[in-house]
Structure 1
């Protein structure tokens, strides 16, 4: 017997929204609803005939929020109205987003690598901030992250940076290449 190579997306639980990080949840939920062929019901505000094995868009939205948020939206009649409410309530206006971006950039600029921290852990923190900025609709280049890493590495990495400068053009290096170079250099030092 051949193994079942197709898995049903409807068995995957929807991403749960807890009132934080609306932008990331909205992207994940949109994809979830699209995969279930329910996004049009949210976008165009029409009722989907409930099928036993195919949840409606409204049911998906109800199951994708915490109980606290569910009690707020439980009396909203359509999937589109629920979506619009969540968007209005949690996405924030342009001014709020700009303030969030400024705070994230400030956090990025103030961040320094700790002596006890690995380059991977440090770069993960920087990438997390950059991704939050991108979710808020602003550009944040890998080049900026690369420069931040190279400029803020502790002194113990100076020789690694120098040998990297000799072997590669650092103005043209990708973030993955940089992290791989430091990863391989760390293994060589062991």
Structure 2
């Protein structure tokens, strides 16, 4: 099998909590390479199929009664969830072990590693401030400044 064209030959980076930004980009492409609709389950989540019973109450549809489309949608979620499960370390896995939706697992990891929206805004303001105050020291070479940058 040609390793350049087989997505199965590429092993995703393992998320350990310190490499989330890099992991997120690689995982997005890894999941999309499985199939675009697999990534769609990460974005949209999975809703359990429901039916109306004889009394007019909405209840969970038994898996044995799912349509082919409902089974396929569930399979896309399972593939995405498997990709996420196999690309996190034990500590990160413990956060998502009970997830049945790829979206839920993705969102939990994002909140854990990036924080809430307000935390991200605060981090961005701090980084912006740090960037604006960044100056090259007199005794510093361009290479050293670039590395620090």
TM-score, normalised relative to structure 2: 0.62
Of Structure 1 and Structure 2, which has the larger fraction of its residues in strand? 2
Q: Which runs of 5+ in 2 are unaligned?
A: 47-72
Determine the structure 1 residue equivalent to 2:74: 47
Number of equivalenced pairs: 120
Alignment of 1:85-164 (within 5 A): 85-114=108-137, 117-126=140-149
Q: Deviations over 1:15-34 (max 9, x none)?
A: 32222354443232111110
1:35 CA displacement: 1.2
**Is 1:61 equivalent to 2:84 in the alignment?**
yes
What SS class does the counterpart of residue 56 from structure 1 fall into?
helix
**Higher RCO (CA-CA < 8 Å; seq separation 6+):** 2
Q: Deviations over 1:109-152 (max 9, x none)?
A: 343435664413422432xxxxxxxxxxxxxxxxxxxxxxxxxx
Of Structure 1 and Structure 2, which has the larger fraction of its residues in helix? 1
Return the index of the structure with the highest Cα Rg: 1
Distance 1:26 1:6 in 2: 22
**Is 1:16 equivalent to 2:41 in the alignment?**
no
Q: Is residue 41–residue 48 contact of structure 1 (8 Å, CA) maintained in 2?
A: no
Distance 1:101 1:78 in 2: 29
1:73 CA displacement: 1.0
TM-score, normalised relative to structure 1: 0.51
